[in-house]
Structure 1
Amino acid sequence: MNKTAIRTLQQYLAESGDYTGAIDGLRGPKTRAAVDAAMKRHVDKLPSGSDAWSERRLAVACLQLACHEKRIEVGAIDGLWGPQTDYAHEVLDTLLETGKKPPLWRDQQPLDANPNGWCHEAELEQTLGSPSRKPPLVVVPCPWPLALAWDPSTRPSGIGCHEQVAESLSRVLERVHDHYGNERLRELGLHLYGGCYNKRRKRGGSSWSTHAWGVAIDWDPARNRLKWGRDRARLARPEYEDWWRFWEEEGWVSLGRHRNFDWMHVQAARL
C-alpha cells in the first residue's frame, strides 16, 4: 500500500470512528490499532487463516472491506493488492473526497455540439488563412486571476486568441467562473495558463498546431503533460467534468477526452 492508499484507509477509519489520528498516509500505531478494531467487527467476512496475516495484509483487507461496504466492486476480501483492489481504491478515494463515485469513464462520450460552426483542423488554413502570418488576435479578459504556468509570478490579464473565437471563449470563461469561483479554480489548478497563440508545428508531428491560429489553449501543462493519459492527467479527474462540459457546449474540443493524450489542450476546431 502506498501513502495515498493509507490516507484513504485512514479517512474511512476516521469516518467509522475507529481512528483519531492525522490523515498522514503513515501506517503507525494509531492506524494499526484502528485496523484491528475494524477487522474485529468484520471477522465473519474474513477467510480462515486470516488471523495469521501480516499487518500490511490486514490493512489491505480493511480497505477492501471499506470498498465492499460502500458498494464498490472489489472482489475477494483476501488482503492482496491486485488490479481490482487498485481500481476499487481509486473509486473509494474519490467517493470519500467528493461524496460521489467517479463517472464510468469508459461509458462517457464527449459532447458533439458545434453551435459556432467551428471548422475541422484540416480546413483551418483555408478558413482562417496561412499560419505563417500572424492572425488577428483579441485579448479576452479572464474573470479569475491567471498565472503563467512556467512563471507564476507573471499574471496575464487575459487570453490572446483569434478574433473569430473570442466571443465564444468569453462565454466559456464566464460560465466557468460563475460555477467554480476564484478559490476553487485555484485549488483545481485552473489558474495556471499555458498559452494560446503560438506559431509552431505540433509537438511530435509535422503539421501546424492549432495554436498557430490562436484557436487553442493549454491549461496546467505540468500536471497534464503531452503523452499522459487519463491515468495520470489531472484534468481527467471527475472534478473537472463541469469544466469540460462548458467548453464542449460551445463546441470546443478536448484532445484528452477524444484521444486520451494532451489533456492540457482545448481547441475551437473539430478533429
Structure 2
Amino acid sequence: MNKTAVKSLQRILREAEAYSGEIDGLRGPLTNGAVDSMIEARGDEFPDGTERWSARRRAVACLQRGALDREIDAGPVDGLWGPQTEFAADALATLFETGAPPPDWRDQPVLDVNPNDWPRESVLEESFGSPCEARLVQVPCPWTLSLAWDLRQTTEHIGCHERVAESLRRVLQRVYDHYGEERLRELRLNRYGGCYNCRRKRGGSSWSTHAWGVAIDWDPDQNKLRWGRDRARLARPEYEAWWQFWEEEGWVSLGRARNFDWMHVQAAKL
C-alpha cells in the first residue's frame, strides 16, 4: 500500500469511528489498532480467519471493505493487493479528494479539439520551421522533475519550441493544481523523458516531433514504445485528468489515439 492508499484507509477507519489519529499515510500502531477494531466490529463482513492474517493484509482487507461500502468494485475482501484493489484504491483517492468517484473513463471519448491550431505532422515545417533548428524556450515546471535516464539528476524546466510554451505552461499548472507534488511522485509523473531531441522517429524514417521541441515523453520505463493499454502505466484510470488537461489544449497522446508509445504527448495532429 502506498501513502495515498493508507490515507484513504485512515479516512475509512475514521468514518467508521475506529481511528482518531492524523491522516498522514503512515500505517503505524494507531492505524493497525483501528484496522483490528473495524474487523472486530464488522466480523461477519470479513472472511473467517481474517484475525490470523498479517497486519498488512488486514489493512488491505479494510480498504477493500471501505471501497465496497462506497460502491467501488474492489473484488473479494481477501486482503490481497492485485489490479482490482489497486484500481479501487485509486478510485477511493479521487473520491476523498474531490467528493466524487472518477468517471467511467473507458466510456469517455478522446477529445478532438485544437484551440491552438496545432499543425498536422506532415506540415510541421510550415508552422515550426526546420527540424533541429527549433527556437527553444525554458518553461518552468511547478513540480521537480527527475530525468528518467538518471533519476539522480533533476530539473525544474522543460525546453520546448517557443510557439507551444504558453500552452505547455497552462497544462503543467492545471496538472499540478489537480494532483499536487506528492501525488505526482506517486504516479511517476515526475519522471521526465525529454522534449527536444534532434532525431528521426524510432522505427521510422521521418523526423520525430521531438526534433521541433513540440513533444514530451513521460515515465518511459513504464510506458515503452510498443506497449499497449494492457501494459502501459499511463493508460490507467488515475491518469484520466492528466490526459484531459493535455487534450483540452489540443495536444495528442499517441497512446490514447493509436495505443502505442503511451509516454509520448505532442502539440501536433496525426
TM-score, normalisation: structure 1: 0.67
Please, what is the CA RMSD of the aligned residues?
A: 4.3
Q: Does the CA-based 8 Å contact 1:119-1:269 persist in structure 2?
A: yes
Cα distance, 1:83 vs structure 2:
5.5
Which ranges in structure 1 are unaligned for 5 or more consecutive residues?
none
Asked if 1:188 is matched to 2:184, the reply is: yes
Residue number in structure 1 paired with 2:103: 103
Q: Does the CA-based 8 Å contact 1:116-1:250 persist in structure 2?
A: yes
Residue number in structure 2 paired with 1:139: 136
Residue 138 and residue 101 in structure 1: after superposition, are their counterparts in 2 closer, same or farther (change >3 A)? same
Q: Does the CA-based 8 Å contact 1:143-1:177 persist in structure 2?
A: no
Name the structure with the higher strand share.
Answer: 2
Asked if 1:173 is matched to 2:169, the reply is: yes
Cα distance, 1:108 vs structure 2:
2.2
Question: How far, CA to CA, are the matches of 1:174 and 1:13 in structure 2?
Answer: 37
Cα distance, 1:251 vs structure 2:
1.9
Question: How far, CA to CA, are the matches of 2:238 and 2:245 in structure 1?
Answer: 14
Q: Does the CA-based 8 Å contact 1:194-1:217 persist in structure 2?
A: yes
Residue 66 and residue 201 in structure 1: after superposition, are their counterparts in 2 closer, same or farther (change >3 A)? same
Asked if 1:121 is matched to 2:110, the reply is: no
TM-score, normalisation: structure 2: 0.67
Residue number in structure 2 paired with 1:54: 52
Cα distance, 1:70 vs structure 2:
1.5
Residue 214 and residue 65 in structure 1: after superposition, are their counterparts in 2 closer, same or farther (change >3 A)? closer
Provide the secondary structure at the position in 2 that maps to 1:217: strand
Residue number in structure 2 paired with 1:251: 250
Task: Please give the residue correspondences for 1:22-171 in structure 2 after superposition, counting only pairs within 5 Å.
Answer: 23-25=25-27, 30-46=30-46, 50=48, 54-56=52-54, 59-77=59-77, 84-96=84-96, 99-124=99-124, 131=131, 134-135=132-133, 137-144=134-141, 149=147, 150=150, 152=153, 156=157, 159-161=159-161, 166=163, 168-171=164-167
Residue 94 and residue 260 in structure 1: after superposition, are their counterparts in 2 closer, same or farther (change >3 A)? farther
Residue number in structure 2 paired with 1:266: 265
Question: How far, CA to CA, are the matches of 2:65 and 2:226 in structure 1?
Answer: 35
Question: How far, CA to CA, are the matches of 2:4 and 2:176 in structure 1?
Answer: 28
Identity %: 47
Residue number in structure 2 paired with 1:201: 200
Question: How far, CA to CA, are the matches of 2:251 and 2:31 in structure 1?
Answer: 46
